[in-house]
Structure 1
Amino acid sequence: MLQNEVATMQFIKEHCSLPVPEIFAYESDEDNPVRTAYILMELLPGSVAMDAAGGYDTHRGVIPKEHRQNFYRSVAKCHVQMTSLRMPKIGTIVRNSEGGYECGPIPGIGGPFDTATAFFEAWADSVKFKWDKETITRMMQGAPIPAEQMVASIENFPSQIKAMASRLSSCNEGPFPLDHDDFLHSNIMVDEDTFDVTGIIDWEGAYTVPHELIGFPEFLSCMPASFDLPQNYDQDGQPVEEFVRERWRERGEYIEMVKSAELQDSLLSACLSSKRNQAIAYCYGAYTSVGKLGLYDQVILEIEREE
């Protein structure tokens, strides 16, 4: 993993102006004088956005409203650069024997993969949900839907994805864009006065992905309506909670900022604008990383309706 992170940052440094630390030295093997793996890298200016403007105690981890527009605009420019970095296959960034770059296997999934179909099939075969049936049942006590329905929705999701793997992606073959798997404001450094991005860190889990897995930065994450309980939306399909309505508005504004920053093509804005793509991206992260309970079966139905 450390070698992948180093290779990814070096790849970025060589191919665009995305602000990542320069690597001075590293050791991936513990058999060295300091007896541990390490990376010696550049100290970037600024603070992580999570800690800026008074930190968590002041704004509870939320970007202050007076800084959001500039922060979002600066992040959008970085996001465009990130997804403009593409490789022929889906996988982690690794160094080859000639000193260049190629794709390597993704931990827990395998690869590298020549097609999005092969990736989704491998993911479906390898993924394990965080919670077992008994734990899910306990978590669902007092919930508005039966625990059995939730368990079935979760257990069936990988096989449903595998069954439609060949139809999931609009771009089955490469090149595939680079994605930061934890694109959150705790990994984005900013100037504390302006909230302009000064650096992006923690590239350990980055890899190239199918277009359908390109999502919003985590601070703009929002579950698809089909994944959520119906009572959380009004008759027009709008969120009942003001917080969610604001998040929807901010996502729309972010897409416009991305469009303004795009030069090479409109891949990122197209991915973010696609309701179908964002449903797939959200469910992939929710299932793989956090074990989030939700109506995965309803998302599958939504995807099928839009085919």
Structure 2
Amino acid sequence: MFDTATLNWKERTYDPDASMGKAMRQTDWPALCQLASGLRNGVRCEPLGHANNGLENMARLLRFEDGVLWVARVAMRTSAADLVKVRSEQSSLLVPEAFASECEIGQHNAVGAPFVLMSFVPGNTAMDAGGGFEKHRDGILAAAEDWHYTKNTEGTFKSGLIPGIGGPFETATDFYKAWVNHVRFPRQPNEILDIMRGAPEAEQVLLAVEQFPNRFHTVAPQFTHKSSRDHDHGPFPQCHPNFLHSNIIVASDTDYHVLGIIDWEFDCTLPVELVRFPRFLDLMPRHCGRNNRFGASGMPCDEEERQTWHERHEYVQMVAALEL
């Protein structure tokens, strides 16, 4: 039986208006346990004190009388847009098994909040495990490369609506035309100026961000035909845009091997040009900063940034080896 004392779960406050405490109070836990019990032929269960949260959702352990553990994943935000995220979270890869879910709130939802009941993956996230990400970096990189190359057993993917964009799309060009109408640079102008610390290039970066949608509309029809006309029709790889160490579950043992991956809200297939590194290998683009960030060799002056460059290079090589 799994020792829940090894879980390093704790509350984090990212947004007071969407906190775990608020979600705890709004959720009818007896009703949720009654639903879970009905799914297991009447075996009674109770919510435990072990709970954890991210930016959008919280997770709480449910324990049945026979010792089986489930997780109740409850949405901390309940706007129409946020409910679409809950509805879209489905995958057959390294993820917990889902037993029941409800994406709406209303009289038919006795729990009082959008939720998913799922199996418990017996481990901590790589961010919360002993030693943190640095201690089991190699194992996470290996899991990342394997996931990046994974397809389902038929070698295809189910096409559907991409939240906030639309679809499904027959070609990469069709996707790009819809995508560029909704894409937003993740930083506000004042944040960019602060990051670049008054560098002369800052105004050029702000102008480029502003002009990007119109300029991309112009080149989108030619973008996917640069190397091959067939590229426009796929194949389209899978992308998990929240693929980082807080969403990777590792075992509580000496190896910290990867047990599963969570938080698939925005998972979808994308044109190959939009596939990105796992987010723990993200770096600010070279042009978004001062030129003196780089030495004469072209490498970053910062030692930690140089290490990430090295790991990005290794990661590309590992994924390429799997594709052979």
TM-score, with length taken from structure 2: 0.63
1:127 to 183, 188, 200: 183
C-alpha distance after superposition, 1:91-138 (max 9, x if no partner): xxxxxxxxxx4322x2222222211112222222233446666x4687
Between the aligned partners of 1:123 and 1:63, the Cα distance in structure 2 is 35
CA distance in 2, matches of 1:148, 1:180: 32
Q: Report the AA paired with residue 103 of structure 1.
A: G
1:37-57 Cα offsets, whole Å, 9 max, x none, are 2110010121100001145xx
Q: Secondary structure, in 3 states, of the residue corresponding to 1:186?
A: helix
Return the alpha-carbon distance in structure 2 between the equivalents of residues 138 and 253 of structure 1: 32
Amino acid corresponding to residue 296 of structure 2 in structure 1: Q
Distance 1:37 1:139, change over 3 A: same
**Distance of aligned partners of 1:233 and 1:212 in 2 relative to their CA distance in 1, 3 Å threshold:** same
1:72 and 1:230 map into 2 onto residues whose CA distance is 30
Q: Deviation of residue 187 (structure 1)?
A: 0.3
Distance between the aligned counterparts of 2:234 and 2:197, measured in 1?
46
Flag as ranges the 4+ runs of structure 1 deviating above 3 A: 82-87, 128-133, 135-142, 226-229
Specify whether residues 50 and 145 from structure 1 end up closer, same or farther in structure 2 by C-alpha distance, changes over 3 A only: same
Aligned letter for 1:70? Answer: G
Decide whether the 8 Å contact of 2:199 with 2:289 is kept in 1.
no
SS at match of 2:205: helix
Give runs of aligned pairs for residues 7-156 of structure 1, distance below 5 A. Answer: 8-9=90-91, 12=92, 18-30=93-105, 31-55=108-132, 62-64=133-135, 67-81=136-150, 86-87=156-157, 101-104=158-161, 106-129=162-185, 135=190, 139=194, 143-145=198-200, 148-156=203-211
Aligned residues: 231
The structure where helix makes up a greater share of residues is: 1
1:4 alignment counterpart: 88
CA, structure 1 residues 83+220, in 2 after alignment: closer, same or farther (shift >3 Å)? farther
CA RMSD in angstroms, aligned pairs only: 2.7
SS at match of 1:161: helix
Q: 1:180 to 1:131 in 2, by over 3 A?
A: closer
Q: 1:225 aligns with which of 286, 301, 304?
A: 286
Q: Once the 2 structures are TM-superposed, how far is the Cα of residue 156 of structure 1 from its aligned partner?
A: 0.8
Whose strand proportion is higher, 1 or 2? 2
TM-score if structure 1 supplies the norm length?
A: 0.67
**Structure 2, gaps ≥5 residues long:** 1-84
1:40 alignment partner, SS class: strand
Cα distance in 1, alignment partners of residues 296 and 239 from structure 2: 36
SS class of match (2:99): strand
> Structure with the greater relative contact order (CA < 8 A, sep ≥ 6): 1 or 2?
1
Alpha-carbon distance in 2 for matches of 1:199, 1:231 = 41
Amino acid at match of 2:164: G
Note the residue ranges of structure 1 that are not aligned, 5 or more in a row. 13-17, 56-61, 88-100, 267-307
Cα distance in 1 for residues equivalent to 2:292 and 2:187: 25
Structure with higher Rg: it is 2
Q: Say whether the 8 Å CA contact 1:140–1:147 is kept in structure 2.
A: no
Quickly say closer, same or farther: Cα 1:111–1:74, change in 2 above 3 A. closer
What's 1:272 paired with? none
1: CA distance, partners of 2:303 / 2:265: 35
Find the counterpart in structure 2 of residue 197 from structure 1.
Answer: 258
